[in-house]
Structure 1
Amino acid sequence: MAAKNIEEAVEAMAAELLAGQDVVELVDVEYVKEHTDWYLRVYIDKDGGIDIEDCQELSEKLEAVLDEKNTIPDSYILEVSSPGIDRVLRKPRDYEREQGKKVDVSLYAPMDGKKELTGVLTGFDGKAITLDDSTVVELSKAAQIRLHIDF
């Protein structure tokens, strides 16, 4: 099974485990190989932030379902955590939720001579984002979009 299919299957399982409660939100699922190990990362969040108990509860439930359904053929390390304050935006709901916040955009190729852009996310139409009400960036041209952090 391809990594993308595993991510989609695990996302459906995790969403089902979180259904019925309006507190913890499933943010993202990643299945990636780093060096020789596979990692299944599940990111969750809630207003005020998640705590270790939230992560442990979902981890235990998800591990049981994954073992029962034998979804993943490889050995893997399961990690359940917060997406962090500099979270990567990947899905339509991310772009909608983070409207009005400053984001950093890394581009595959320069746009107006720049490969890195920073601006306030002011629009999203499904195929592109708008920064500062004027700069339109097609999602297909963005290598990564993440929340900006001011130190």
Structure 2
Amino acid sequence: MTKKKKQHPRDEVTLRRQVAVLPFRVPALGSIEILLITSRDTGRFIIPKGWRKKGQKQWDSAAREALEEAGVVGEVSSKAAGSYTYWKRGDGEFELLQVLVYPLEVKTQRASWPEKGERKMAWLTAEDAALLVDEPALASLIRTFAPKV
């Protein structure tokens, strides 16, 4: 008699994916800082994220989102630091999405960028950033990422 693998509800559905960066910097006399931005619709703290552009590598699409949403430029890793899921709101419906997160060491911030003035942003300690984001898996990723840098 063969055993059937017990399936979990999420095993049956492939989630659509977004890409994001975890923007960070290491000040000369301090520990790592994480950049959070606010979402345009709810004002909650998030990291820059969006859809992968066709024909573009995932990490490059994530870096493009960082430039568009926060005006930051730097060195993005081609290796994801992890992922998390969240419920995206849209047209009265919600969709569960998976987000792949790529570290981005921020080198500069441009004077202007497409979404300047539409979001607030803050450089925070990893612990403070983890406390401010709503998604538990993202908070965990931020906490575990900090010591690796």
Normalised by the shorter chain, which TM-score bucket? Answer: under 0.3
**TM-score when normalising by structure 2:** 0.22
- Between 1 and 2, higher relative CO (CA 8 Å, sep ≥ 6) is seen in 2
